[in-house]
């Protein structure tokens, strides 16, 4: 908050909004001199737009403020001069008078000025910057380059052709996920077995359909003459083969797990039943991930805005380098210093502030997620330890009140521990990328360094997962017992170790069943999507592209809903263990 307030107070938002030239002058404002250069501190109140001498090289181009962007193509310096006479907008450097436009030589037209690179394209003012109207040509060139990559082109075209089906099925995934949650809520004892049976049948049916589609496409391909076979059809047949093999392996593993765990599935029924009663008495608990998502989005937007203020903090000063300007028969020029690009010389207090701001992004995001966990755990714990469920009151509001009054410090400490592991992981990921792009003639040292970095990243990943699991249980005990984070973490370790077999059995079965519930949502929605694509879009090159995208969205949707159930089950397990420890389960 202090950084945000300091950055907003000193960040000069108008510099980000209006833009500024290569001499540090903000366009559209009266400027104060900030350097010893004679072109600093200009009155640009009549010049509101940033103009690039070479828009194709905007990073190093000289930038000036102009009163009007070119509204027609200027092919010669005579056109540039006539544009000045008509509009009063000078497109050459401030120190280059208009009466010299007609005598300008080729050497005077470059990225660093003093005059723009010809021809000057028709431009429009976008966010106070002169942007060529035919910028679409450059985008089209980029699209053409991407389209030359045939597989990517076909996949993108397939997704675009099925866009309405994808959007509709994303909404359908919301409905299906909600129905699965309702099944968990009202038929907890039955849904465990239903999910196992349906997933087994769905995986078998899906695998059979994939093999059938592979056989059909292969038979159809074999009937065609070799000269009429399309490459996309051959690729599609090969893809169906690999998808079928992968689906067969996944189906075999799922059936094996269901068979092995069938005797332990009954252990989770009571736990799911209690979680169902929690959702029945507290239906708004399902909306907690939604509120958390909105809070995260609001924070991320604010973070980006503050980052913009930090980026434009301090006093603008031109960034000079020595540029040799050739002598011509028309104009006698001398070696001079010209501004190349621009830089913002930040005040000393801003030097490393953006680093801390990035750390704050990770820390506050983890803090918000920790607050959600404590709210859910507090509400579920109150439901568990309240004998008369009719006198529950508003457990979610009560949990929020206790969070604000007592547990914000625990959330901050737990989330900071995650940051201490995540930041080194991010640094190692950056180092790994740097090693990958390093010089190839140092092959062995690079391979050794890459191996060491990967090992460190793997260890930190495992450590982060362990700390997250410990933090989650510590947050639950913070909400249950009202103790601080460190004591709750120690109690969580003791509870988990003393009930290791029970925790492993119930958590593994519960997590597995909930995972099957997510797969059920994916299987239903992706299956419907596949049928719709076959029926209404039979000419797609790669059917796996739109169906795969549908599967990803449906899984994310199911995860948001069912994760609340998972949090409730884990909290109930800890409540039960604490109840057994303190009250002998009575």
Q: In the numeric block, which tokens belong to residue 52?
A: 């690039």
> pLDDT tens for residues 495-553?
888 877 667 667 666 777 788 788 888 888 888 877 877 777 666 666 677 777 788 88
Q: Determine the Cα–Cα distance for residues 391 and 393; give it in Å rounded to an integer.
A: 5
Q: Determine the Cα–Cα distance for residues 290 and 360; give it in Å rounded to an integer.
A: 22
What is the maximum span of the chain, computed from C-alpha positions, in angstroms?
102
The domain segmentation of the chain, as residue ranges, is 14-147, 154-287+500-583
Model confidence at 346, pLDDT cuts 50, 70, 90, reads very low
- Locate tokens 């914000």: which residue? 408
- Locate tokens 């900030």: which residue? 34
Q: What share of the chain is helix, strand, coil (3-state, %, to 5)?
A: 70, 5, 25
Whether 556 and 364 have beta carbons less than 8 Å apart is answered as: no
Q: In a 3-state reduction of DSSP, which class is residue 40?
A: coil
Among 51-65, 138-152, 301-315, 355-369, which stretch is predicted with the lowest mean pLDDT? 138-152
* Pairwise pLDDT comparison (89 vs 234), residue with the higher score: 89
Whether 417 and 471 have beta carbons less than 8 Å apart is answered as: yes
Does residue 153 surpass a pLDDT of 60? no
Q: Determine the Cα–Cα distance for residues 395 and 283; give it in Å rounded to an integer.
A: 11
Q: Which of 382, 463, 469, 389 is nearest to 420 (CA)?
A: 463
* Beta-bridge mates of residue 344: 316
* Pairwise pLDDT comparison (526 vs 13), residue with the higher score: 526
The number of beta carbons lying within 10 Å of the beta carbon of residue 557 is 23
Q: Determine the Cα–Cα distance for residues 263 and 391; give it in Å rounded to an integer.
A: 37
Segment 344-370 mean pLDDT: 72
Residue 16, exposed/middle/buried by CB under 10 A (0-12, 13-18, 19+)?
middle
**H-assigned helices in 149-266:** 150-161, 163-186, 188-223, 231-260
Cα dihedral 85, 90, 92, 96 sign: positive
Residue 64 DSSP class: E
The Cα-based distances of 438 to 98, 402, 441, 445, 449 in angstroms read: 49, 52, 9, 11, 11
Q: Determine the Cα–Cα distance for residues 34 and 41; give it in Å rounded to an integer.
A: 7
Quote the distance between the C-alpha of residue 2 and its chain's center.
Answer: 26
* Beta-bridge mates of residue 115: 109
Write down the pLDDT at residue 65: 92
Torsion angle of alpha carbons 116, 121, 122, 128, nearest 10°? -50
- Locate tokens 């049948």: which residue? 201
**H-assigned helices in 351-442:** 353-385, 395-402, 408-436
Q: In a 3-state reduction of DSSP, which class is residue 263?
A: coil
Residue 62, exposed/middle/buried by CB under 10 A (0-12, 13-18, 19+)?
buried
Q: In a 3-state reduction of DSSP, which class is residue 37?
A: coil
At a CB cut-off of 8 Å and minimum separation 6, what does 140 contact? none
Segment 173-188 mean pLDDT: 76
The Cα-based distances of 166 to 174, 377, 538, 544 in angstroms read: 13, 35, 15, 13
Write down the pLDDT at residue 335: 36
At a CB cut-off of 8 Å and minimum separation 6, what does 312 contact? 11, 12, 13, 15, 16, 344
Q: Determine the Cα–Cα distance for residues 39 and 49; give it in Å rounded to an integer.
A: 17
The Cα-based distances of 427 to 424, 430, 433, 446 in angstroms read: 5, 5, 10, 17
> pLDDT tens for residues 102-114?
776 655 666 777 8
Whether 404 and 411 have beta carbons less than 8 Å apart is answered as: no
Whether 171 and 525 have beta carbons less than 8 Å apart is answered as: no
Does residue 387 surpass a pLDDT of 70? yes
Does residue 247 surpass a pLDDT of 60? yes
**H-assigned helices in 282-341:** 288-311
Write down the pLDDT at residue 466: 87
Does residue 149 surpass a pLDDT of 50? no
Q: Which of 516, 551, 525, 562 is nearest to 173 (CA)?
A: 525
HSE-CB of 582 using CA atoms within 13 angstroms: 10
Residue 321 DSSP class: E
Among 71-80, 158-167, 287-296, 487-496, which stretch is predicted with the lowest mean pLDDT? 158-167
The Cα-based distances of 329 to 326, 337, 556 in angstroms read: 10, 21, 69
Q: In the numeric block, which tokens belong to residue 93?
A: 């450097």
Q: Determine the Cα–Cα distance for residues 206 and 212; give it in Å rounded to an integer.
A: 10
């Amino acid at each position: 908050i202090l950084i945000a307030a300091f950055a907003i107070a000193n960040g000069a938002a108008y510099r980000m909004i209006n833009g500024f030239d290569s001499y540090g002058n903000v366009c559209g404002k009266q400027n104060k001199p900030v350097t010893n250069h004679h072109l600093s501190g200009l009155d640009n109140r009549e010049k509101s737009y940033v103009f690039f001498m070479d828009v194709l090289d905007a990073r190093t181009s000289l930038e000036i403020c102009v009163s009007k962007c070119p509204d027609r193509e200027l092919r010669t310096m005579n056109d540039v001069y006539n544009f000045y006479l008509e509009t009063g907008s000078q497109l050459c450097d401030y120190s280059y008078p208009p009466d010299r436009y007609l005598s300008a030589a080729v050497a005077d037209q470059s990225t660093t000025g003093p005059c723009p690179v010809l021809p000057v394209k028709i431009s429009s003012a976008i966010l106070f910057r002169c942007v060529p109207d035919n910028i679409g040509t450059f985008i089209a060139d980029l699209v053409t380059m991407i389209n030359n990559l045939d597989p990517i082109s076909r996949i993108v075209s397939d997704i675009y052709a099925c866009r309405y089906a994808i959007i509709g099925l994303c909404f359908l995934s919301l409905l299906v996920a909600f129905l699965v949650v309702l099944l968990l809520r009202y038929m907890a004892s039955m849904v465990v077995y239903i999910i196992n049976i349906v997933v087994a049948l769905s995986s078998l049916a899906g695998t059979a359909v994939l093999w059938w589609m592979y056989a059909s496409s292969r038979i159809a391909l074999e009937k065609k003459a070799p000269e009429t076979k399309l490459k996309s059809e051959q690729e599609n047949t090969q893809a169906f083969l690999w998808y079928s093999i992968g689906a067969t392996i996944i189906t075999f593993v799922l059936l094996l797990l269901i068979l092995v765990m069938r005797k332990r599935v009954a252990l989770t029924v009571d736990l799911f039943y209690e979680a169902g009663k929690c959702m029945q008495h507290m239906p708004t608990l399902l909306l907690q991930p939604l509120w958390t998502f909105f809070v995260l989005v609001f924070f991320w937007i604010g973070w980006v805005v503050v980052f913009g203020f930090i980026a434009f903090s301090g006093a603008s000063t031109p960034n000079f380098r020595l540029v040799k300007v050739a002598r011509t028969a028309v104009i006698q020029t001398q070696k001079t210093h010209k501004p190349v690009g621009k830089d913002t010389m930040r005040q000393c207090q801003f030097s490393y502030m953006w680093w801390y701001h990035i750390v704050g992004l990770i820390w506050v995001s983890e803090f918000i997620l920790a607050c959600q966990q404590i709210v859910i755990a507090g509400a579920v714990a109150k439901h568990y330890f309240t004998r008369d469920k009719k006198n529950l009151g508003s457990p979610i509001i009560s949990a929020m009140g206790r969070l604000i009054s007592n547990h914000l410090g625990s959330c901050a400490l737990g989330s900071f521990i995650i940051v201490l592991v995540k930041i080194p992981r991010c640094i190692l990921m950056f180092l790994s990328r740097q090693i990958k792009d390093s010089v190839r003639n140092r092959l062995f040292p690079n391979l050794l360094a890459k191996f060491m970095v990967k090992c460190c990243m793997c260890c930190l990943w495992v450590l982060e997962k362990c700390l997250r699991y410990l933090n989650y249980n510590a947050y639950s005990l913070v909400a249950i017992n009202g103790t601080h984070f460190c004591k709750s973490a120690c109690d969580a370790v003791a509870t988990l170790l003393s009930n290791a077999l029970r925790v492993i059995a119930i958590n593994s079965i519960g997590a597995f069943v909930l995972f099957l519930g997510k797969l059920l949502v994916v299987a239903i929605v992706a299956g419907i999507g596949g049928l719709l694509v076959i029926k209404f879009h039979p000419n797609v090159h790669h059917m796996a592209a739109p169906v795969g995208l549908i599967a990803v969205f449906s899984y994310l949707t199911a995860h948001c809903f069912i994760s609340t159930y998972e949090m409730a089950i884990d909290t109930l397990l800890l409540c039960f263990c604490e109840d057994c420890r303190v009250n002998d389960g009575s």
